[in-house]
Amino acid sequence: MQQRFAQLKGCLERTEVAVLMVTGDEPYQHMLAVDMFRARKEKAGFTDRKILTVEAGFDWSELDAAKHALSLFGDQSLIDLRIPTGKPGASGSKAIVNFVKDLHPEVALLIQAPRLDRSTMGSAWVKAVDKSGVVVRVWPLSYAETENWIGKKLKAEGYTVDRETITFIAQQVEGNLLAARQELEKIVLVVEQKELTFEVASRVLTDSSHYSLKELTDVLATGEVARLVRILKGLEKEDVRPPLLLWAMTERARKITDAGSPSTMTRGAPGALNPLMRLSHIHQQNIGVREDSQASGNTDLLKQCAWVDRVIKGQGDGNPWHELIQLGIAIQMAGQAG
């Protein structure tokens, strides 16, 4: 069955869900949905987790083998199947259909995919997942939804705030929940009085109508994600060519790589990573540029630059400006990790 993101928590509490697919292009909700399912299954004893990433030449017999390779220690298994393209192909579709049709009670399946088009949503494998489990589609929020989300978060922090101020904050983040989250954290740190006025919010969340390439280069060396998003949105409105911005970002990525500093691709236990790093990881996995080997290190960052270049040239699926934002976040996190 299909569920909205807001319904997922209640669904998992009411029903024993063995199969979940999370699809869509809103990374913050994507991360939260995946975390909810993993936490729920771990609590139920599914402590053995196997990650399968579908890349060119992927052997779909691995999925069937994972289902039957029960843990030697008797732990129940969660298979994390990642499909960066959202298109498993004929053999993959058949493998997924067979997997969910005859699911072992000691095995759970999590499928992560980007936004799927209408034809893919109507394919046999998606229908099989929908019939056997839950499909959650995560979309970027509208302005109205973003405003509601911001209002609820501020209320949870004890603030009283009027609609004008909430609208102002929503305009600063352009519907990006990751940027909104950081702006709200800034407010909580800076604003002590619990009546948040427009004047106070506008002082804390400064904005500028014109940006330069130098400002982009400077913000890449910081952890200011909200400002990064505003700068790139401003440059987009000013019709700055994406290849020029990618050049500047690639130069910064090369400096990080040459310095040998740890990147957002640093390997470690998922719980040890902050939310920004994890969001970068999720996006890199979804576009197929992140490797699991320790040795790959910062080369994943350069692969992401190459991916953005393909998208700009129309050789890869995606929005060039969205990909530039994701690349900028990855570069920021790499620099901060160093």
What is the residue extent of each domain of the chain? 2-138, 143-204, 213-337
Cα–Cα dist 234/219, whole Å: 14
Domain 143-204, what fold? Helicase, Ruva Protein; domain 3 (1.10.8)
Q: What is the pLDDT, as a whole number, of residue 266? A: 44
Give the list of residues 6+ apart from residue 18 with CB closer than 8 angstroms, or none. 103, 105, 107, 108, 109, 132, 133
CA distance 7 to 24: 16
Q: Would you state the structure tokens that stand for residue 44, as one six-digit string?
A: 């139920």
- Residue-wise pLDDT tens digits, 279-295: 777 777 777 776 654 44
**Can you give the pLDDT at residue 153?**
92
| pLDDT at 223 (0 to 100) | 80
Q: Do 2-138 and 143-204 have matching folds? A: no
Angle CA 321–146–166, to nearest 5: 115
Q: What is the pLDDT along the chain (338 residues), one digit of tens a residue?
A: 888 888 888 888 888 888 999 998 888 888 889 999 999 888 888 888 888 888 888 888 888 887 777 645 556 888 899 998 888 889 999 989 988 888 888 888 999 998 888 888 988 999 999 999 999 998 877 888 889 999 999 999 999 999 999 988 888 777 778 778 888 888 888 888 899 998 888 888 764 446 778 888 888 988 888 888 888 888 888 788 889 899 989 988 888 887 764 443 444 444 445 666 677 777 777 777 766 544 445 567 888 899 999 999 888 888 899 999 989 998 988 877 65
- What is the C-alpha to C-alpha distance for residues 265 and 268, in angstroms, rounded to an integer? 9
pLDDT digits (tens, 9 = 90+) for 36-73: 999 988 888 888 888 888 888 888 888 888 777 764 55
CATH architecture of 2-138: 3-Layer(aba) Sandwich (3.40)
Q: Which residues pair with 172 in a beta bridge?
A: none
Residue where the block lists tokens 């957002």 = 264
pLDDT of res. 291: 60
Which pLDDT score, from 0 to 100, does residue 292 have? Answer: 52
Contacts 24+ apart (CB under 8 A), 244-250: 244/213, 245/213, 245/216, 245/324, 246/305, 246/308, 246/309, 246/312, 246/324, 246/327, 248/213, 248/216, 248/217, 248/220, 249/216, 249/220, 249/305, 249/308, 249/324, 249/327, 249/328, 249/331, 250/302, 250/305
What is the value of pTM for the model shown? 0.60
In this predicted structure, what is the pLDDT of residue 73? 53
